[in-house]
Structure 1
Amino acid sequence: MRRFSFYCALIGAVASLLAGCDRSTLPMGPAPLNSRYKDEQPAISGNGRFVAFVSNRDGKRQILLYDLQLRQFVDLPRLNRRDTIAENPSISYTARYLVYVASDRGRPEIELYDRITGRVEVLTTGYRGWVRSPSISPDGRLVAFETDRRGQWDVEILDRGPNIELDRPDGFPLGQ
């Protein structure tokens, strides 16, 4: 009987270890913001509802988005890719748009993620010089970042143009 109890305990321990190795998803439903993992580089949305940050939860470095009102993580399909290191997130007013630095071939690029469409767009393709520290305007039209293309770190502003769908709070007049 003692041997049976030992094997049951051993099987239970192995099962819990294997369950802990499942790194495919973050918790669904209510979950605490803080954890035992390294979380850094926070950015809060203009409406104060969302916080984006870089974390090594799930066994990989990734950008996470947390809904402070619902107290749960927001699914970001196609944002975090296995072959890419993502850093320095910045989010628009309702967190529709996220900008961040991504490096998949050793060269950093500034990318924009649209939560509505699930699309990732590289904003600095073909850009000369290194880029870092992007910041997006509340409406999502302008992206500020640092660049060294003149041999020193300067600030540049990228205007995504008048034809993008702006991130505005519900009920906000279109003409403003």
Structure 2
Amino acid sequence: MRQRFITSALLLCFVVFGCSQNGIRPMSRVGASLRRSAESRRLPSMGQRWLASLANRNGRERVELIDLSNDTPVPLNGIDQADSQTISLSVSGDGQRIALIRQREERTELMLYRRNVSALQRLPINPPGVPRSVSLDGNGRLLAVQVSRRGRWDVDLIRLP
């Protein structure tokens, strides 16, 4: 009986103290590498071994994809344009697709970047609306988009080819 009590008490302590916020810490190796490579970062999105975010260097924000297996940035040729600002992004599980919403001149656009062909394509929103936030599923085949239409927020699900 006493052994069962001690075991239960130890288990309870482990659960209470092991799951406390003191046990949650950033991954120091990756965090240090990310801080060295940019002045600031925002809009993080995780794939299986990928981290996509907006990295700010010298006052310019760029979409950046990091391969977390070796802490190296992956080239994203053609994804950033000088006359646009990214306001939301999401990466697929395999890191091959990045969905993003960007503000360009007076338009807000939904875009899909396919890394294997370095292609950025605009995706139409039907019925028309203003996209605000985007989320890709792990396979990169289903896209959820928060859209404003006539003063109301909707979420559109879009199946990608």
* Structure-1-length-normalised TM-score: 0.67
C-alpha displacement of 1:62 = 1.5
1:50 partner amino acid: W
Structure 2: gaps (5+ residues):
1-31
Q: How does 1:1-150 map to 2 (within 5 A)?
A: 32-35=33-36, 37-45=39-47, 47=48, 49-124=49-124, 128-150=128-150
Say whether residues 1:156 and 2:152 are aligned partners.
Answer: no
Across the two proteins, how many residue pairs are aligned to each other?
129
Q: 1:114 to 1:58 in 2, by over 3 A?
A: farther
CA distance in 2, matches of 1:84, 1:74: 21
Write out per-residue CA displacement over residues 118-160 of structure 1, whole angstroms, 9 at most, x where no aligned residue. 0001113676221111111111111101111143111111112
Other-structure match for 1:26:
none
Other-structure match for 1:21:
none
Other-structure match for 2:25:
none
Q: 1:125 to 1:148 in 2, by over 3 A?
A: closer
Write out per-residue CA displacement over residues 13-43 of structure 1, whole angstroms, 9 at most, x where no aligned residue. xxxxxxxxxxxxxxxxxx9212361211100
1:39 partner amino acid: R
CA distance in 2, matches of 1:63, 1:140: 17
Write out per-residue CA displacement over residues 1-22 of structure 1, whole angstroms, 9 at most, x where no aligned residue. xxxxxxxxxxxxxxxxxxxxxx
Structure 1: gaps (5+ residues):
1-30, 165-176
Cα RMSD after superposing both structures? 1.9
2:35 partner amino acid: N
Other-structure match for 2:12:
none
* Structure-2-length-normalised TM-score: 0.73
Q: 1:74 to 1:58 in 2, by over 3 A?
A: farther
Other-structure match for 2:10:
none
- Identical positions, percent: 28
CA distance in 2, matches of 1:55, 1:76: 13
Q: When you count strand as a share of all residues, which structure comes out higher?
A: 2
